[in-house]
Amino acid sequence: RDALGAHHPTRAMTILPASARFVVPASAAATSKLVLFDVMDTVVADPFFRGFHKDLFDLGSVKELFAIKCQESFVAFEKGDISEAEHFATYFTDRRPVDGSRVTEYLRSRYEWLPGMRELCSELQGAGVPMAAMSNYPAPWAPLVEDAVGLSQLVPWAFVSGEAGLRKPSPGAYLAALKAVGRRADEVVFVDDNPANCDAARALGIDAIHFKSAAALRPELQRAGVLPR
């Protein structure tokens, strides 16, 4: 057992269908740089920061929720070190009960594309630019995102921290993602809303863009040579 009192079962794969996962093309030649997208609050809106605290726990702010939430539990869940049931059992520092099904249904019903991102990803796809998702997220929740927004229709999943047991900004997470997409560091453009994750990517020779909005991302992709000017 770990500090959370949980066993460490063998890390399970998500139930994402094979059709939702990135497949390395048979041809080894890279005709375009691959855009490796973070998911939460880069492509898809994260419900956690959009009323979650009020709607589920009647708290006044996200800050109030963080003050009583066990972040160690979520990080362990996000790495696949504990199960979803173990996460909900240790969700709060005082171990008050949590209705896990209510949490997951809330999340499922509120995932949505960030403004302009579906259109931008569709444009990239139409231009023949390969894309893949690299997400710090619990393995059981990745399918919730997929079911809600159909992410893989434009951005197939290449890396989920809950499967890999690694999280950004760990160097190993980026190396695992590069392996999953079959690219070298200089063949990838990484996009993330977290500056620390971008810095870690750059340290490995990966061109990184700090995401702020779809409108701000477009000229950055042009600078990176992914979209024409």
Q: What is the pLDDT of residues 58-99, one digit of tens each?
A: 999 999 999 999 999 999 999 999 999 999 999 999 999 999
Averaged confidence pLDDT in the chain: 93
Q: Which residue stretches of 139-185 are H helix?
A: 142-149, 161-164, 171-181
Whole-number percent of the chain with pLDDT over 70: 92
When pLDDT is averaged across residues 173-188 and rounded to a whole number, the result is 98
Residue 163, pLDDT above cutoff 80: yes
pTM of the model: 0.91
**Torsions phi, psi of 66, nearest 5?**
-60, -30
Which residue type sits at 197?
N
Cα–Cα distance for residue pair 151/145, rounded to 1 Å: 7
Q: Given a cut of 50, is residue 128 above it in pLDDT?
A: yes
Q: How many CA atoms lie within 13 A of 149 on its CB side?
A: 26
What is the model's pLDDT at position 25? 86
Helix/strand number for the chain, H first, E second: 11, 7
CB-CB contact of 167 with 160 (8 Å): no
Contact 97, 103 (CB under 8 A): no
Query: Helix 142-149 and helix 100-110: axis angle, to 10°?
Result: 40
